[in-house]
A and B are shown apart, each in its own frame.
Chain A
């Protein structure tokens, strides 16, 4: 009975008593949700256009951020480094298309999935070989990312908003808007959607699969670069970011693999759920629930909607 009270009543009483803490937690949840969504976006882009579940997205985030910081440390101006990092992602996309994807056309999904595992290992080794394994600082000031915090006194307390978090949310929203326009209005975007629907049909109307793959991996690389800058600014650039990237997976299955809005909504649900769970219910079981709560939330949603919130309905035929 005492346990039931602690689980079902007390946290809500606490929320009511200290609304400022609740708002603060919600805000942190939303920000981390946006950042998860940024990583998830890269997954969705590639999955939509090639049906590949790209496990290497996490390491691409690290890799892009490392190139940016590494070049800056070599004395390249910040914005030139940014452009060069983007170029590096383009080169990576072309190499991946040529070396990994093209020889594996028409293989089962799981084989392509495994190939991206191989890619992950390769990039980890390559990145550490070139840049070393030490964590680095993201060059926030040089990229004109705002710093500092604003405190808002409200609801009987104060709520702290990091400027960086606000910038992250704004930039993520802009990227999502751009991608939505790109997918629905441009010629290439429509070609991407055609490829997603059916490789064969797309080929038969004259869409070059190889070209589309390069474009989509490049787009995912750019998303990875932005995600790398944002995550790097929050928690430093190191290979442990890759583990954070795994958190994008529950976001993905929650939103549905093929849906961009799904990635956003999924990210927000996971981010908020995780922070609320950790703050209000975590102490009951000794804390640290953040590591698995996201997956359990996603699992619960999946039991009701096996294709995710916004995924295309799965129709099975014999």
Chain B
């Protein structure tokens, strides 16, 4: 009973196909975006650097995987590698053409990982389900091997690691050791909002419906005139584009430098967790999933020692780490049992309850 959705009539098709048809949703979203920007000026640098920037980066990667797994129904375990392609492409581009603004290269680097993703998506035409998941593992391990073995990718530097050079926008450093968490957060936030907006338009439009048709039953979709080859490859390309951009952001705007090991198989699983816990086929679920999976261990790391100390149990850091693993694992199972459709469904149910509260009938 906090607000009413009734009485908002639509009188033309354009209004009917709007992504947020309800005024309250638009206002709410506006407030969230505003709060996110305000956080840059209110939050301290630990919050921005250690929580918000990675949260946004992982959300972007989760959106990418959600497009592939949630909307198109193609299970992929190669996310980490596709993120890596984006990061390495970005590094090569911005060191080869230092004159062009780095933001351009962040967006362009996604196209490289889109191309690689489409290439590794080719088997998806014949292989389905878990078989495809294992086939994408080929991409994961092969690309990771490339990152290690091809020194050209890191400009033959001895350490074999990527590092973020100093880059500026309007004279303000946005990348490299001098950039403050604040500016990096603002940049990441803007890119993520832009790409999320693009994604929500994609999945609600004709292309998104094609993806969903392929997911629900690819044979039937084919009979209805949807071309499986183009649709599946497009899903792979778009998904890898998002992952690639997320990878570039991860290395250059969060870590500030990284080795190939960042893009290992665990990263792929990590993103898959977020997508499934958040909710398959839901953009907002990607954010929820990223929040739960990424922020939960941080919170546990702070809460657990505090919770155990009153009992005289001062435990070492390694025990906390093990407990964290156990709790995260148990929570994954718990959430799957409570709501297999993910946090996005819980959010929907909650909204519905609020709408009819306090009279549930």
Q: Judge if B294 is at the interface, Cβ distance under 8 Å.
A: no
Given A246-B137, A252-B134, A288-B145, A114 and B326 touching (CB < 8 A)?
Answer: no
Whether A129 lies near B323 (C-beta < 8 A) is: yes
Q: How far is it, in angstroms, between the C-alpha of A110 and the C-alpha of B336 when the chains are bound?
A: 11
Q: How far is it, in angstroms, between the C-alpha of A91 and the C-alpha of B265 when the chains are bound?
A: 30
Residues 122-138 of A, flagged 1 when their CB comes within 8 A of B and 0 if not, give: 11111011000100000
B320 to chain A, nearest CB (A): 10
Stretch at the interface among B44-52, B123-131, B190-198: B123-131
Q: How far is it, in angstroms, between the C-alpha of A115 and the C-alpha of B265 when the chains are bound?
A: 18
Q: How far is it, in angstroms, between the C-alpha of A181 and the C-alpha of B127 when the chains are bound?
A: 32
B327 to chain A, nearest CB (A): 8
List B contacts of A288 (CB < 8 A).
145, 148-149
Q: Judge if B273 is at the interface, Cβ distance under 8 Å.
A: yes
Whether A103 lies near B337 (C-beta < 8 A) is: yes
Residues 322-335 of B, flagged 1 when their CB comes within 8 A of A and 0 if not, give: 11111111111100
Whether A128 lies near B332 (C-beta < 8 A) is: no
A280 to chain B, nearest CB (A): 18
Given A109-B129, A128-B322, A291-B144, A302 and B330 touching (CB < 8 A)?
Answer: no
List B contacts of A295 (CB < 8 A).
134-135, 137-138, 141-142
Given A129-B323, A288-B149, A316-B219, A303 and B138 touching (CB < 8 A)?
Answer: no
Given A246-B265, A299-B138, A306-B127, A122 and B333 touching (CB < 8 A)?
Answer: yes
Whether A129 lies near B322 (C-beta < 8 A) is: yes
Q: Judge if A61 is at the interface, Cβ distance under 8 Å.
A: no
Query: Which A94-130 residues sit within 8 Å CB-CB of chain B?
Result: 99-100, 103-104, 107-111, 113-115, 117-126, 128-129
Q: Judge if A75 is at the interface, Cβ distance under 8 Å.
A: no
List B contacts of A292 (CB < 8 A).
138, 141-142, 144-145
B158 to chain A, nearest CB (A): 17
Q: Judge if A148 is at the interface, Cβ distance under 8 Å.
A: no
Given A117-B273, A302-B131, A122 and B326 touching (CB < 8 A)?
Answer: yes
Q: How far is it, in angstroms, between the C-alpha of A119 and the C-alpha of B129 when the chains are bound?
A: 21
A306 to chain B, nearest CB (A): 5
Whether B322 lies near A104 (C-beta < 8 A) is: no
Whether B223 lies near A249 (C-beta < 8 A) is: no
Whether B134 lies near A118 (C-beta < 8 A) is: no
Residues 211-253 of A, flagged 1 when their CB comes within 8 A of B and 0 if not, give: 0000000000000000000000000000000010010011011
Whether A125 lies near B323 (C-beta < 8 A) is: yes
Residues 208-251 of B, flagged 1 when their CB comes within 8 A of A and 0 if not, give: 00000000010110010000000000000000000000000000
B150 to chain A, nearest CB (A): 9
Which of A125, A285, A318 is packed against the most chain B CB atoms within 10 Å? A125
Q: How far is it, in angstroms, between the C-alpha of A121 and the C-alpha of B332 when the chains are bound?
A: 9
Q: List 8 A-B contacts (CB under 8 A).
A: A53-B130, A100-B333, A115-B337, A117-B269, A118-B329, A122-B330, A128-B325, A302-B126
